[in-house]
Structure 1
């Protein structure tokens, strides 16, 4: 047997430090996450080398690489070939991909998954109404108005303006200073936008969609919480009808 083969065989052996559940991939992934948390490693920070991790975690090369790949898939780490492994930016791309798949599959069935996702989005946005009003001084009303005008202009040609639609929702919640809220809303909005062409139109024509956003904007500008909640509810009622394929009773 060559020396190279001996090294490979040795690499596949689990260190005596590892036993039982610790040798399990899930446990190893948890150990890497704990290392990141315990050391306070921020996104973009270089992780210890592979050799250092093997020694510290008491594992061989193969299970370590499998664990790193699994953590990369969910954004916890980022592999930069030729440079090393870094703490990931923790984006919600994996969540978005999973929700998109579930929603696409739901389109072939009873739309239950899509309705569930819409409910979560509605609860989140409706629950932020009071906070948005409290952050009124930080709101970019001009950007909101511009998005509405762009949607109305496109609607006059019978077209929907998805970029303006997202810009409206993004601007609405940017004043909260909560990037997780924006990231979650972007995921929800993107999943629905990708399915837009497959959902029944209902009354959600471009003109009606633009009007929903105009009503939200006008209520917000007037700082009228009751009107804002009513406009937000009307917006989601329209989407609910499209998902249901019929008018709510």
Structure 2
């Protein structure tokens, strides 16, 4: 392990243990380096790395603070990495979605409230009236993100939002090239929503699995 990695691990441990909480200001550089047994140079490199990951916020002339550590902020780096992936890597994105989204849909069937169900019905209705494939895919992304939000786990919702946006181009291409893809997507969304609304956890999870698997199969064939 490099000295910088060691410094990162020590700062991370301070956060995980609660010694540093979200919003806290880090001790002066010299004091922190001495307390952790680090050189000031390795500490600076660790702070720089953690600031790039949105764990720390370096404020010029003020000090260094622990960020809010909220999931959307921490996952911005993941979104950036996903954006840099090549198109032929999108299959991996769908494979991860096939793991996460059925679980999220099952949780949504247990936790979705009336407001979430109403919003989901509006999204499905809008998808059915979409005049272009691009509009349909935008509704498709909103549907999956809202399902994940209804699951009640912000971290899971943020992960799914990042992955869902990354797969938008593949979904548009499918809508343009696969016969009945638009109608099938709307029908599958409706079935998933009905299961979530009815609180049918296993049915909702199964329908989501089939839904994602269908798109994954098409992507695999297209590549």
TM-score between both structures, scaled by the size of structure 2 = 0.80
Matches within 5 A, 1:128-139: 128-137=104-113
Equivalenced residues, count: 218
1:235 and 2:211 correspond: yes
Give distance in 1, aligned partners of 2:67 and 2:217: 39
Q: Who wins on radius of gyration, i.e. which is larger?
A: 1
TM-superposition CA deviations, 1:107-154 (whole Å, max 9, x none) = 3xxx3x433332221122223444322224466211001111122221
Distance 1:157 1:35, change over 3 A: closer
TM-superposition CA deviations, 1:179-230 (whole Å, max 9, x none) = 1111111121122125555678434744433333222223333444565345
Counterpart of 1:95 in structure 2 is 78
Give distance in 1, aligned partners of 2:50 and 2:113: 40
Say whether the 8 Å CA contact 1:43–1:89 is kept in structure 2. Answer: yes
Counterpart of 1:9 in structure 2 is none
- Residue 140 of structure 1: SS of its match in structure 2? helix
Q: Which runs of 5 or more structure 1 residues have no equivalent in the other structure?
A: 1-20
Give distance in 2, aligned partners of 1:217 and 1:162: 17
CA RMSD of aligned residues (A): 3.0
Which of 152, 156, 161 is the matching residue for 1:186? 161
Matches within 5 A, 1:50-65: 50-65=29-44
Aligned-residue offset at 1:167: 2.8
Matches within 5 A, 1:47-196: 47-90=26-69, 91-101=74-84, 103-104=85-86, 107=87, 111=88, 113-137=89-113, 140-154=116-130, 156-193=131-168, 196=171
Q: Which has the higher contact order (CA 8 A, sep 6+)?
A: 2
Say whether the 8 Å CA contact 2:110–2:201 is kept in structure 1. Answer: no
TM-score between both structures, scaled by the size of structure 1 = 0.73
Give distance in 1, aligned partners of 2:193 and 2:18: 45
- Residue 245 of structure 1: SS of its match in structure 2? helix
TM-superposition CA deviations, 1:55-110 (whole Å, max 9, x none) = 32333433221111111122221222232211134411222222333x31xx3xxx
1:41 and 2:15 correspond: no
Distance 1:34 1:136, change over 3 A: closer
Say whether the 8 Å CA contact 2:25–2:66 is kept in structure 1. Answer: yes
Counterpart of 1:213 in structure 2 is 189
Give distance in 2, aligned partners of 1:144 and 1:237: 21
Q: Which protein has the bigger helix share?
A: 2
Say whether the 8 Å CA contact 1:160–1:206 is kept in structure 2. Answer: no
